[in-house]
Amino acid sequence: MERILPLELVGYKELEYDLLDESGDVVFPQGEKLTPNLLMKLSYMKLYKHERFQREHFNPDFTLPGHEPLASLIAESSAGHLLGDTREFLQKAYDGTPIKLEECVKSTKIIIDEVAAAMGNIESIDQLRIYDEYTYSHNINVSSLSTAVGMLLKLNEKEIKELALAAFLHDIGKMKIPREILNKPGKHDDREREIMRRHTSLGYRYIKENFEIPDRIARVALDHHEKFAGKGYPNGLQGKLINKYSQITNVVDIYDALVSDRVYKKGIPGHRVIQIMITDFKKEFNREVFEKFLELAVHDPEEKAS
């Protein structure tokens, strides 16, 4: 995913590729007419092009094992339970039906057990993911991958439980975003993007109102789009003002969003996403957290990016 400067688009009639924001969401789709007004708008945004990255930025010396998708190491029965429970839980959050915290804790227990059992056998980070509609699988996958990074960071048992739960709940605020905006297949306009970003504060408020859990867990819903280097949202926090759970969730959230199929885009292969994260996002992450993430994603030490 290559950063695009608006000047590069001058002279073209329409976009020849999708323009993505930093989360990998399509902001302007291929075919969008490049009017002077649009060019002006783009000049204020940080955008990336989707298509050309592979040829121009892919470093052929950087090879990762597992280019071909390997079977998930999450047991099929566990994945089935997790998806069923997550669907029910998200539907309740959407309807405003009361949810018991234990229901979420039960799911995160399954996730922790599955990840712990898989840790010694991972050839590809994607083996910790399950595949289903993004809305449901994303919560589970971000929790699984965060748990794995937490284990590599040697967090203690209590911290792992908190992290898995925090990551599982990180996007709960999206259930409070109007469906027509959340599921819009095309670009979000400025107003809609602003509304989408509110899923952070809405999620935090939802958790605080519904569950009695330590603030450090609830904060992940609020802070998972904050960047360690600053300039994230909603509050532009920096460094250690962002707790460790949010820092971890931020890294794996970006990975899962980019590799996943969405209604409006095909997922990008995992090894390319890793390359994107190294070239484009590395400086935005806590180094220690990102190194552990890479440890999970890049198995042969000789193939690790420096």
Which of the residues 245 through 284 are near Fe ion (CB under 5 A)? Answer: none
Question: Which residue among 171, 226, 256, 284 contacts Fe ion (CB under 5 A)?
Answer: 171
Q: Which is nearer to Fe ion, 227 or 271 (CB)?
A: 227
Q: How far apart are CA 77 and CA 266, in angstroms?
A: 27
Q: Where are the alpha helices (DSSP H) in the chain?
A: 36-42, 53-57, 76-95, 101-118, 134-152, 157-168, 179-182, 190-197, 199-210, 215-223, 244-259, 270-276, 287-297
Stretch binding Fe ion (CB under 5 A), from 44-52, 122-130, 166-174, 277-285: 166-174
Least gap, CB of 196 to Fe ion (angstroms): 9
Instruction: Report helix, strand or coil for 27.
Output: strand
Stretch binding Fe ion (CB under 5 A), from 5-13, 170-178, 263-271, 290-298: 170-178
Largest CA-CA distance found in the chain, in angstroms, rounded: 57
Stretch binding Fe ion (CB under 5 A), from 87-95, 103-111, 133-141, 165-173: 165-173
Size of the site for Fe ion (CB under 5 A): 1
Stretch binding Fe ion (CB under 5 A), from 71-79, 86-94, 164-172, 287-295: 164-172
Least gap, CB of 156 to Fe ion (angstroms): 26
Q: Which is nearer to Fe ion, 171 or 256 (CB)?
A: 171
Least gap, CB of 193 to Fe ion (angstroms): 13
* CA dihedral of 5, 10, 13, 15, whole degrees rounded to 10: -10
- Percent of the chain that is helix, strand, coil (3-state, to 5): 60, 5, 40
Alpha-carbon torsion (97, 100, 105, 110), positive or negative: negative
Residue recorded with tokens 């910790």: 128
Q: Would you count residue 126 as binding Fe ion (CB under 5 A)? A: no
Least gap, CB of 186 to Fe ion (angstroms): 19
Least gap, CB of 205 to Fe ion (angstroms): 15
- Provide CB contacts within 8 A for 177, sequence distance 6+: 195, 196, 198, 199, 202
Q: Which is nearer to Fe ion, 172 or 298 (CB)?
A: 172
How far is C-alpha 304 from the geometric centre of its chain's CA atoms? 22
Stretch binding Fe ion (CB under 5 A), from 106-114, 151-159, 168-176, 276-284: 168-176
Q: Which is nearer to Fe ion, 22 or 171 (CB)?
A: 171
Q: How far apart are CA 30 and CA 17, in angstroms?
A: 4
Q: Which residues pair with 20 in a beta bridge?
A: 26, 48
Q: Which is nearer to Fe ion, 252 or 289 (CB)?
A: 252
Instruction: Report helix, strand or coil for 121.
Output: helix
Q: In what order do the strands lie in the sheet with 47-49?
A: 2-4, 47-49, 19-20, 26-28
Least gap, CB of 114 to Fe ion (angstroms): 23
In the complex, residue closest to Fe ion by CB: 171
Least gap, CB of 171 to Fe ion (angstroms): 5
Least gap, CB of 174 to Fe ion (angstroms): 7
Q: Which is nearer to Fe ion, 171 or 223 (CB)?
A: 171
Binding interface with Fe ion (CB under 5 A): 171
